[in-house]
């Protein structure tokens, strides 16, 4: 079964590629099937996990590993 993971920001391992804001990736059987803006991937997977205001760094090896970092805002 495929799962769409959505987050405020996705960092990829592609050199020179900027972070993807409101990004997502599709994971199936522990492997990334696609990565890009959420609006382009929405509806392509059986389930969706919304990780909210996090930054995800999907997979540096297989099977997929997901790290998330909470973003915080500086208060005056």
Q: Is residue 35 part of a domain?
A: yes
Q: Which pLDDT value is given to residue 71?
A: 47
In DSSP terms, 50 is beta-bridged to 6
Strands 54-58 and 2-10: parallel
pLDDT category at 23 given cuts 50, 70, 90 is very high
pLDDT at 37 over 80: yes
Read off the pLDDT of each residue in 52-76 and give the average, rounded to a whole number.
Answer: 59
- Contacts (Cβ under 8 Å, ≥6 apart) of 43: none
User: Is 0.85 topped by the overall pTM?
Assistant: no
Within a domain: residue 75?
Answer: no
Whether 22 is in a domain gets the answer yes
Domain CATH number, residue 59: 2.30.40.10
Its domain, for residue 38, covers 2-70
Say if residue 7 is exposed, middle or buried (CB neighbours under 10 Å; 0-12, 13-18, 19+).
buried
Say whether pLDDT at 61 is over 50.
Answer: no
Mean pLDDT of 19-33: 91
| Domain count of the fold of the chain | 1
49 domain residue, yes or no: yes
């Amino acid at each position: 079964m495929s799962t769409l993971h959505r987050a405020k920001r996705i960092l990829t391992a592609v050199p020179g590629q900027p972070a993807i804001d409101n990004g997502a990736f599709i994971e199936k059987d522990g492997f990334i099937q696609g990565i890009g803006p959420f609006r382009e991937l929405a509806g392509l997977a059986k389930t969706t996990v919304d990780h909210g205001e996090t930054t995800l760094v999907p997979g540096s090896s297989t099977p997929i590993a997901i790290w998330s970092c909470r973003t915080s805002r500086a208060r005056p």
